[in-house]
Each structure stands twice: as structure tokens, then as C-alpha cells.
Structure 1
Amino acid sequence: MAIQELEMEGRKPAAVFITSPTYHGICSNLSEISQLCHSHGVPLIVDEAHGAHLGFHPRMPNSALQQGADLAVQSTHKVLCSLTQSSMLHMSGNLVDREKICGCLQTLQSTSPSYLLLASLDAARHQLSENPEGIFEEALQMALDAKNTIRGLPGISVLDSQSLPNFPVIDPLRLTIGFGQLSLSGYEADEIMYDDHEIICELVGTSSITFAFNLGTCKEHVERLVSGVKHVRVSSTRGTVAKAEPSVSAPFADFKTSLIPRDAFFASKRRVSIANCVGEVCGELICPYPPGIPVMIPGETITERALDYLLDARRKGAMISGTSDPRLSSILVCKK
């Protein structure tokens, strides 16, 4: 494991960083990870952006702090009711120097914070404190009912712990629906649901779409969602939508860097057409969203496989961010 390898080299990691839950609600076993980290005297930092609600109901996974994390960063606005851009940093234990954290925050934060955001954070905290165990009961039941109904539709799949045996815990307020059996991409299904039912998903991907239930969800929303999924299925079986082409697999395991990102970022650039850039050194960050993971970064050698993936994602409706040409007809590369 990485910690032991570093210790064999006479080094010690500053911290272990984990993202849990993911955008789809998949949770890591933070209890075991924190025990392992602490046995080596290493703090555990958790990006818990989508988990500010965890731990407030018996049917929900425990929060990162409840599982032993030393630092947890939460985007309180994502599922709870604070204003957009408001978030919280939580600390526990003695492995992390609190004074150093406070000093870093004073260095990085604005001297003119938004008191609207701060007030909304306090309002969200107060809302939870009034009924911490029952406030999510209705949302949880609606999410369960929706999953059971949609799971029973032929050709439709629902992400659950059975499909992810290595990650048995999933946020019950996240619903990820797959349309692969209908030969539809997530982008195509999302377009049908928006155009015909005005349903806006939380996250769309190449083969699925994800929805988030929260304290503002009502039965009318769930009924419309179920109707929209049924409509997608009927539309596909009637042949009213084009069948998706096979997806190009993500190339993240196969890459080579020619420059470190900093040198590539500051290097002189030239623009090259998409047809002539294979083998060049990428000069910009190219990131299809969703899923929001960069396919190429400055300093990385451009490969045909990476280009195929990017063009496939763009063709299916993904937004290409980071690049100066969002149409992806050209790419900035480093001058040799």
C-alpha cells in the first residue's frame, strides 16, 4: 500500500484524501480507512461535498466525522438548504493542527465574507437541529418508492449496492438510472425528459442520469419523474429516438507526460487542428462535463485514444470545459 511504500523510503504522507460520497452517492468505508490512517499517524481528509446530510437518519450512511475523519469539507448547499456557494469545514481529533488550519483560512479567505451565505448556513444548521432524526423521513420514503417503481420497468436499471459489491453503501437520496438496455445514452434520455416533461436531472452521463432527492422534493416531483422515465422507455421501444452508438472507454489509465503541468501552463502555445494534434504536448486542461474529470492536462502527450473519447463525449452532448475552443475543433499545444 502507498503509506507503507513511503515509509520504506523513509517518508511519511502528509494526509490521505478521499472523496465520499461521490456525485452518484457511492460511499467509501471511511471507518476502515480512518483506522488504517491513524495507525500510521496520518490524518484523513474527506471531500464530503455531497454528504452534508449524512448521519442525520438511521437509514443514512454515517458522516465522515462519525467514521473517524480528521477533516471533512461539505458543500452544505448541495442537499441541505443553505444558499449556493456556502459550505462548511469540520474538524475532529488532534492529528490536525487547528491553529495552522485557522491561519491558512485567514490567508486564503476574503476579508469581506458574504453574511448572506453565513446566515444561510446557520439557518440550515437550525433547521436540522429542530428535528434531526425525522426531517429526512419523507424524502427518504419518496426516494425509496421512486427507486422501486423505476427498477420494475423493463429495460431500465437502477444503481444500487447489488451492482456495486465493493461499495455496499449508497446514499439513499441519490437515484441513478441507466438506459443501456434501451441502447440510449444518458444525454439522449435526458433530452427526452427535458423536452417532453421539463425534468432537469442533477447529473447526466454517457449511459445514465442521476437525480437528487432533498427536503424540497414533493410527491408531484416524483410522479413526474416516474412518468418521464416511462416516457423515455416507450419512446425508445417505438423507435422514435435514434439508438446510441457504443461509448468509447475512458483513457485515464493510459497516458504519458512530457512536461510538468506548471511548465506546460506557462510555455508558449500554438493552436493545432484536432486532426493534427496527436503526439503534441497538450497546453490546456480539457475536461468533459459530466463527469468533470480532465481527460488531458497541460504537459500530457495527446493520444488518439484520448481524442476519440473526447470527440465521443462531445458528440453525445457533453460540455467540454477548460479548453479555449469548446467546440473541440482545435487544441492549444506547447511549442517545441
Structure 2
Amino acid sequence: GAVTPAELDRAVRLALARGARPAAALVVSPTYFGELGDVAGLAAVAHAHGLPLLVDEAHGAHLGLHPSFPASALACGADVVVQSTHKTLGALTQAAVLHVRGGRVDLDRLDQALQMVQSSSPSYLLMASLDAARAQASDPAAFEPCLAAAAAARAGAGRVPGVAALTPPPARADPLRLTLGVEALGLDGPAAAAWLEAEAGVVLEMSTPRAVVAAFGIGSAAGDGDALVEGLWALSRARWDPGRAARCAAGTGPSEPSLTPPPLPEVVLAPREALARRTTAVPLVASLGRVAAEAVCPYPPGIPVLVPGERVDRATLRALRDAAAAGRRVTGCADASLRTLRVVEEG
């Protein structure tokens, strides 16, 4: 879930007690599942410690643009906010916006940092799409169809046998995102998502071992919510397992692997050095103790579990096996199935 102000305060105090000098507080809001953090409270904690608050608002570019949407992180006191404008607005993929407010961030240093990672030849297609998305989003009425679709999905999905609406409290929920538990149907999230796409033409945003996430945006039609509910009813008729539903209600169903990355492994080589060495592919189970020669980034949450030069320890190996078993999409490595891992040759 979203980080709370109390958790942020404890984290900063712990860092200070260990002799560290935090430079900023970085949080994610809303989460991939549509849960919003208490950004105003987080900003108050960060500012009390003399830190700017940076918010990854990738999934919240629409926030504050319609009376039905919660306030944006910027309006809640965040100092730096990045939004993936292509996710819920109409910009092209890769288009994003960086917002800055107040005087806690040195704009010259920020600009210098951006110049180090950005191309000197930006895409005018992306920039034009940002302007088009801004113009489209300036009219609150543009969000009425997606709000209607999301409301219809939220109202109908919970009535489908074997489907559970797993939504945060309304005050902390993104109204355009809906998380649905599907374990009582007798299949996991990836299988449910694949069935809905193949049989009902419904494409979901994400799946986990026990749930799927539906996301609506400015391009959604008002009938998209009804289409999702109809697809869920068809899936329920085909796959609902009452016995499994009873086990889930009793809390004896299968547990869901954590999306939290394991502790950072030992760094043996710099990434550049690891990439320059001779490498070989070994079965994943045989990679324990070896030095990785490639990055492995399961999605969700999209955070690298391993980068070149790090040693594969038991916690990392367990996280990789869980990601493979859960059917998560894996990027960065040659074998996305994670049957093998490329490591630095020994000797």
C-alpha cells in the first residue's frame, strides 16, 4: 500500500540515527492498485525534517482535473512530481511531465541532472502529444465517459460470483482504477486476464497471482465498464469454483507472493566490469552465489531485483523464483522465463 506519514517519519529518523544525511523523501502515490497516499501529511513530515518531497505520480496525471478526482500531489504540498501523461491522459507512450513548486529544490541542479539523462534531440512527436493531451484534459467533460465506465465496473464487478472488489477507502482511492480478486474462480490473475482478453476482448492493466487491475482513462468509452462486467460474468460461469470460494473466505486459500523487492545483494563488481567479463547462462537454481551479468526486473513492481555485478543470494533467488511462478513480466534479462540466468564466468 501507500507509504504513511508515520512510516516516512520513522524511516527518516532511522536514517539520521545511523548517521546518514537524507537529501529528499521519495514516495509513490497513487500505487499501481489505485491507492493514494496522504501526500499532505507526507509533505508535512518531509518539510519538518528539512527535506523536499518527491512524488512518483506516474498513474495520477488525471488527479485534480475533474471534481470527482482527488487532489494532485502538487496541490497537496509536494515539491517535485513526475507524471506519466500517457497512462491516463492522451499523450503518446513515453511522454511525461515533471512539475516543480516552491523553493526547496534547486532548479539549476535539477535541469543539469535532466540534461545528463535526456537526449539533446527530443522527440517533437512526444512534445506535441503533451500539448494535445493538455488541451484535451483542460475540459473536465472529457473525463465523463471514463468516470461512467469506472463507476459501472465498480458497481457490477462485486456482484459477480467468485470476483471480489478490492478497493481502498473512497477517500484514498483513484476512481479510475479497480482491483478485482479472482482466486475464488479457481485460476490466478494472469490466467484470468488472458481468458478475458481472448474470450471477451477485455484488456486489463495488470495481473498478480490473486487479482487483476482494470484501469480507465481519458480514451475510455462509457460502455467499457459494462463490457468488463459482462466479461467477468462469462468468466465466472465458465470457471467459478464454490469450494475454492469457501476456502478463500475462510482464509485458507493460497498466499500471494510479496511484490516488495528483497534486500540489496552484495556488490562484487561494478556493472561496467561485469558486462565486460566473459559470461555464461546457467539454470536459475544453479545461480546461487554467482555474480550476475544481466539485470532482472520483474513487473510489477518494475524495480530491478538484480543488476550486473551483484551476487545472487538466497533472498534474491527466492524473489526470482516467485516472480517466475507468478507469471510476472520480466525485463532486462535474455531469458524472460527465468529458467536460466546469465552470470560472470568463474576463474
TM range (shorter): 0.7 to 0.9
Alignment partner, residue 324 of structure 2: 314
Match of 2:111 among 102, 105, 124: 102
What secondary structure does 1:52 align onto? coil
List runs of 5+ in structure 1 lacking aligned partners.
Answer: 240-244
Q: Residue 49 and residue 155 in structure 1: after superposition, are their counterparts in 2 closer, same or farther (change >3 A)?
A: same
Alpha-carbon contact 2:58-2:85 (below 8 Å) kept: yes
Match of 1:287 among 297, 303, 324: 297
Alpha-carbon contact 1:205-1:291 (below 8 Å) kept: no
The answer to whether structure 1 residue 24 and structure 2 residue 33 are counterparts is yes
The answer to whether structure 1 residue 331 and structure 2 residue 341 are counterparts is yes
| Alignment map for 1:155-234 (pairs within 5 Å) | 155-162=162-169, 169-234=172-237
1:99-145 CA-partner distances (Å, limit 9, x unpaired):
2222333443323222222122112212232x24x432332232122
Alignment partner, residue 46 of structure 1: 55
Task: Please give the alpha-carbon distance, in whole angstroms, between the structure 1 residues aligned to 2:333 and 2:198.
Answer: 29
Match of 1:142 among 140, 146, 149: 149
List runs of 5+ in structure 2 lacking aligned partners.
Answer: 1-9, 243-252
Task: Please give the alpha-carbon distance, in whole angstroms, between the structure 2 residues aligned to 1:9 and 1:279.
Answer: 29
The answer to whether structure 1 residue 154 and structure 2 residue 161 are counterparts is yes
Q: Residue 104 and residue 310 in structure 1: after superposition, are their counterparts in 2 closer, same or farther (change >3 A)?
A: closer
The structural deviation recorded for 1:8 is 4.5
The structural deviation recorded for 1:321 is 1.9
Q: TM-score, normalised by structure 2?
A: 0.83
Aligned-CA RMSD value: 2.8
Q: Give the total of aligned pairs.
A: 325
Q: TM-score, normalised by structure 1?
A: 0.85
| Alignment map for 1:65-84 (pairs within 5 Å) | 65-84=74-93
1:273-294 CA-partner distances (Å, limit 9, x unpaired):
2342233333322223344333
Task: Please give the alpha-carbon distance, in whole angstroms, between the structure 1 residues aligned to 2:210 and 2:122.
Answer: 40
1:80-99 CA-partner distances (Å, limit 9, x unpaired):
11122111111100000122
The answer to whether structure 1 residue 118 and structure 2 residue 121 are counterparts is no
What secondary structure does 1:67 align onto? coil
Q: Residue 103 and residue 78 in structure 1: after superposition, are their counterparts in 2 closer, same or farther (change >3 A)?
A: same
The structural deviation recorded for 1:306 is 4.8
Task: Please give the alpha-carbon distance, in whole angstroms, between the structure 1 residues aligned to 2:136 and 2:112.
Answer: 30
Deviation above 4 Å: which 4+ runs of structure 1?
A: 8-11, 245-248, 253-256, 303-309
What secondary structure does 1:176 align onto? strand
Alpha-carbon contact 1:267-1:335 (below 8 Å) kept: no
What secondary structure does 2:82 align onto? strand
Task: Please give the alpha-carbon distance, in whole angstroms, between the structure 2 residues aligned to 1:252 and 1:298.
Answer: 16
Q: Residue 14 and residue 202 in structure 1: after superposition, are their counterparts in 2 closer, same or farther (change >3 A)?
A: same
Greater shift, 173-182 or 216-225, is seen at 216-225
Greater shift, 297-306 or 12-21, is seen at 297-306
Alpha-carbon contact 2:185-2:241 (below 8 Å) kept: no
Greater shift, 310-319 or 91-100, is seen at 310-319
Task: Please give the alpha-carbon distance, in whole angstroms, between the structure 2 residues aligned to 1:70 and 1:277.
Answer: 42
Q: Residue 237 and residue 40 in structure 1: after superposition, are their counterparts in 2 closer, same or farther (change >3 A)?
A: closer
Q: Residue 9 and residue 211 in structure 1: after superposition, are their counterparts in 2 closer, same or farther (change >3 A)?
A: closer
Task: Please give the alpha-carbon distance, in whole angstroms, between the structure 2 residues aligned to 1:39 and 1:259.
Answer: 38
Alpha-carbon contact 2:150-2:216 (below 8 Å) kept: yes
Task: Please give the alpha-carbon distance, in whole angstroms, between the structure 2 residues aligned to 1:46 and 1:56.
Answer: 18
The structural deviation recorded for 1:318 is 3.1
Q: Residue 60 and residue 310 in structure 1: after superposition, are their counterparts in 2 closer, same or farther (change >3 A)?
A: same
The structural deviation recorded for 1:261 is 5.8
Task: Please give the alpha-carbon distance, in whole angstroms, between the structure 2 residues aligned to 1:53 and 1:89.
Answer: 14
1:10-48 CA-partner distances (Å, limit 9, x unpaired):
653111111111222111111111111111221111111
Task: Please give the alpha-carbon distance, in whole angstroms, between the structure 1 residues aligned to 2:272 and 2:128.
Answer: 42
Q: What is the letter of the counterpart of residue 152 of structure 2? A: D
The answer to whether structure 1 residue 249 and structure 2 residue 244 are counterparts is no
Alpha-carbon contact 2:296-2:331 (below 8 Å) kept: yes
Task: Please give the alpha-carbon distance, in whole angstroms, between the structure 2 residues aligned to 1:248 and 1:177.
Answer: 14
1:192-243 CA-partner distances (Å, limit 9, x unpaired):
111111221111222211121122212332222111111111111379xxxx
Task: Please give the alpha-carbon distance, in whole angstroms, between the structure 1 residues aligned to 2:14 and 2:285.
Answer: 42
Greater shift, 104-113 or 261-270, is seen at 261-270
Alpha-carbon contact 2:178-2:213 (below 8 Å) kept: yes
Q: What is the letter of the counterpart of residue 319 of structure 1? A: R
Task: Please give the alpha-carbon distance, in whole angstroms, between the structure 2 residues aligned to 1:7 and 1:308.
Answer: 31
Percentage identity across paired residues of the two chains: 38
Alignment partner, residue 250 of structure 2: none
